[in-house]
Amino acid sequence: MPVLRSRAADAPPPITSATPDGTDQTAAKCAQLRSEIRANQQAVREAPTISTSPEIVAAAEAKADKRIDDTRSQLDELDCPPEPDSGVKLRPLAPLPPAPGAASP
C-alpha cells in the first residue's frame, strides 16, 4: 500500500535491533527525524505548484514549516548530535515554477 507524503510523519518508526542502552534506537530516530525535515523542506519548495490559490499555497507552506519546527523540537528533545558534515557543499535548489494559471509572486 503506497504511503502518501503527508502521512509519512504518521507512519510508525521502523523496527531496529537495539542495544541495552538504546543508542541504536536514538540514532535511528534522529536519522528518521532528519529525513522528515528534508521531506518537509521539499514540501515547502513544491507548495507553489499545488494550486493557483495564494491562500492554499500559503497554508501548505505554513503547514510544512510547522512540521519542520515540531520535528526540530523532537531532535532537540532527543539530544541528537548535529548532522555530520559530509564536506560536500550543497547548492540550494531553484524554486519550482508556480502552478499553471497562478499569479506570479
Q: Is residue 10 part of a domain?
A: no
Whole-number CA gyration radius for the chain: 17
3-state secondary structure 5-44: HHHHHHCCCCCCCCCCCCHHHHHHHHHHHHHHHHHHHHHH
d(CA 10, CA 101): 33
> How many domains are there within the chain?
1
Q: Is residue 95 part of a domain?
A: no
Residue 38's domain spans which residues? 23-77
Q: Is residue 64 part of a domain?
A: yes
Q: Is residue 34 part of a domain?
A: yes
One pLDDT digit (tens) per residue for the chain, 105 residues: 555 555 555 555 555 444 555 678 888 999 999 999 999 988 888 888 878 888 988 898 899 999 999 999 999 999 988 876 655 565 676 777 777 777 665
Give the pLDDT of residue 103: 67
| pTM, rounded to two decimals | 0.59
Q: Is residue 91 part of a domain?
A: no
Give the pLDDT of residue 32: 93
